[in-house]
Structure 1
Amino acid sequence: MATSTPSTAYSRDLGEELRKVREKSTDLTGAAFAVKLGWDPSKVSTLENGKYRPSEIDLVQYLSMLGKDIDFFEDFKRRFRNAFEEYIVQVSDNLKTLAMAEATALTVTSYDTQAIPGLSQTPEYADSLYRMGGYIVEERIPAVVKCRIDRQAILNRHDRPECLFYVHEHALHTQVGDAQVMQDQYAKLLFGAPRIRIVPASARLVATSCVLWEFDKAMPVAFTSTDLAKVFVQDPAAIARTRLLFDRLAEVALDEEESRKVLADYVGRPREELNERGPRLA
């Protein structure tokens, strides 16, 4: 029987990838594949759920049985090397671990300081935001926008995660695209988004954007990103600090009803006013 190891967002991502490789390469169930390998069935299950740190021999046996070559093996070995660390850093355009963490979370709590949360963006806003950033080549922008919008499908599920998005006033004032893009984005926040609480510019708070994902049977994951990298954290001390930040945000942010009134004001403004900086919130 395999010894279970506390999983991370990245180890669960890699385990899911191994399962898909198995399903594409053979008609065997996980249990039947374990028999073929001479493993206890629990070993395949824990590996494919990201709860088992495979040895080099484990990976050789698993992947060679599926007909994979040495290059495929070396890639997985490299990626699993740090998969169970409490701090995982990925390049900015790697979205698979992020999307899987969102899709498996029970709750998603986020704080955004400069832009509307990705799970609440319109396609036009996302497109304009990427073009403003200048760090993605133009031909890739349609693909990354589609990926961002496709991630929003989790909010339409019957078992969708419970979401609370804290949005700083600066994000509402930052002009992304033209006035119509902003008008449509405000409307989506008001009518189609999860719970929104606006953080006034007058709030005495200094903190960067971050997300906290909480799961049913896995440790919470804190997440932050820049144009250069994405960082996934399971260090208990860092999780505790993230919870303290959200406690502080709950104190200083407008409540949901007040936030909706502010958004309704933005939606109702004439288009020409949207090209100007809006009034500061109380």
Structure 2
Amino acid sequence: MSVITSTAYSRDLGDELRRLRETCTGMGGRALAVNLGWDPSKVSNIEHGKVRASEIDLVQFLTACGKDIDYFEDFRQRYKYAFEEYVVQVSGNLRTVAMAESTANTITSYTAQAIPGLVQTSEYADAFFRLGGFVPEERIPRSVQLRMDRQAILRRHDRPTCLFYIHELALQQRVGDDRIMEDQYARLLFDAHVVRIVPRDVVVPSYGCVLWEFEKSRPVAFSETDLAQVFVQDPAAIVRTRLLFNHLAEVALDAEQSRSKLAEYVGRPREDHDEPGPRLA
């Protein structure tokens, strides 16, 4: 077992091991370490994603939690990629995303085609999940609830410092009916202190990404498509992501201008929402 730089995924899987210990054994970390004949720091480091545990370590840990060989094989397959600088997951898997959001000190994001999930209304999220028929009907309520649950980090007393760059084209994408869009515009205006609008005539060479920064861990860049989620800690990729946000800081409206732009959308008569532009629903 060797100490390595943790990643968003290794911290996620470490947290999963912690929860297994708590729910399956009822033991504290020190008690489990004694039971396994380990130093207590070993359990702590594994559960915080700070070390790459050996396969023997994982076998011993999971066996102590009452798990069988099939569970071990599945976890081993996931764990072997945990410390990579590039990690790809199936789109829609929110566990690693939610953990990264909840532990970040700073969240900076750019979205080009939709409102960021952390500032969506529940009605907008519901309408968005219905687009294209990709999410089964029976899963939509749960997906909406999970998105709303993630927003709890913005209500914490120690909330992360957030900045959401939103392209104006995302404001013009009609997701749901007029009432849904009006409520969404009002929600953005309420959160205008963390929103900066990129004017619709500005071309940005990015489909969107997020940068999470942590107090004691390396930054993580994140992007998502319909097919996959990508978590990146490669230093060169982080530099490139910072360059994107530096560019957005130059071309986006400032805080007061963004507030005024959002107020325009909130105050428009309904018929004005039918001006030419993309319609998604």
Q: TM-score range by the shorter chain?
A: over 0.9
Amino acid at match of 1:115: A
Distance change (3 Å), C-alpha of 1:133 and 1:161: farther
Q: Distance in 1 between matches of 2:276 and 2:124?
A: 17
* Residue 72 of structure 1, CA deviation: 1.2
Q: Distance in 2 between matches of 1:230 and 1:194?
A: 28
Partner residue, 1:268: 267
Structure 2 contact 222–229 (Cα < 8 Å) conserved: yes
Compare 115-124 and 64-73 and name the one that shifted more.
Answer: 64-73
Partner residue, 1:20: 19
* Residue 193 of structure 1, CA deviation: 5.6
Amino acid at match of 1:198: I
Q: Distance in 2 between matches of 1:238 and 1:194?
A: 28
Amino acid at match of 1:187: A
Partner residue, 2:253: 254
Equivalences for residues 1-282 of structure 1 within 5 A: 3-192=2-191, 195-277=194-276
TM-score relative to the length of structure 1: 0.95
Aligned to 2:27, what secondary structure does the other structure show? coil
Structure 2 contact 193–255 (Cα < 8 Å) conserved: no
Q: Distance in 2 between matches of 1:193 and 1:84?
A: 36
Compare 239-248 and 59-68 and name the one that shifted more.
Answer: 59-68
Distance change (3 Å), C-alpha of 1:15 and 1:257: same
Q: Distance in 1 between matches of 2:126 and 2:204?
A: 29
Pairs aligned (count): 277
Amino acid at match of 2:89: Q
Q: Distance in 1 between matches of 2:48 and 2:248?
A: 34
Q: Distance in 2 between matches of 1:194 and 1:160?
A: 14
* Residue 204 of structure 1, CA deviation: 4.1
TM-score relative to the length of structure 2: 0.96
* Residue 27 of structure 1, CA deviation: 2.6
Distance change (3 Å), C-alpha of 1:194 and 1:78: farther
Amino acid at match of 1:175: R
* Residue 140 of structure 1, CA deviation: 1.2
Q: Structure 1 residue runs of 4+, over 6 Å off? A: none
Q: Distance in 1 between matches of 2:163 and 2:10?
A: 26
Structure 2 contact 25–65 (Cα < 8 Å) conserved: yes
Structure 2 contact 9–87 (Cα < 8 Å) conserved: yes
Distance change (3 Å), C-alpha of 1:139 and 1:244: same
Amino acid at match of 2:170: A
Structure 1 contact 99–151 (Cα < 8 Å) conserved: yes
* Residue 23 of structure 1, CA deviation: 0.4
Structure 2 contact 25–64 (Cα < 8 Å) conserved: no
Structure 1 contact 108–162 (Cα < 8 Å) conserved: yes
Aligned to 1:136, what secondary structure does the other structure show? coil
Q: Distance in 2 between matches of 1:204 and 1:151?
A: 30
Structure 1: stretches of 5+ with no match in the other structure: none
Aligned residues with identical type, % of pairs: 65
Q: Distance in 2 between matches of 1:277 and 1:8?
A: 44
Amino acid at match of 2:184: Q
Q: Distance in 2 between matches of 1:118 and 1:133?
A: 18
Structure 2: stretches of 5+ with no match in the other structure: none
Aligned to 1:224, what secondary structure does the other structure show? strand
Structure 1 contact 210–223 (Cα < 8 Å) conserved: yes
* Residue 175 of structure 1, CA deviation: 0.8
Aligned to 2:3, what secondary structure does the other structure show? coil
Compare 218-227 and 202-211 and name the one that shifted more.
Answer: 202-211
Amino acid at match of 1:264: A
String of CA shifts for 1:92-129, please: whole Å, max 9, x gaps. Answer: 12110001100100000000000011100001111111
Structure 2 contact 192–258 (Cα < 8 Å) conserved: no
Compare 97-106 and 32-41 and name the one that shifted more.
Answer: 32-41
Amino acid at match of 2:162: C
Distance change (3 Å), C-alpha of 1:193 and 1:57: farther
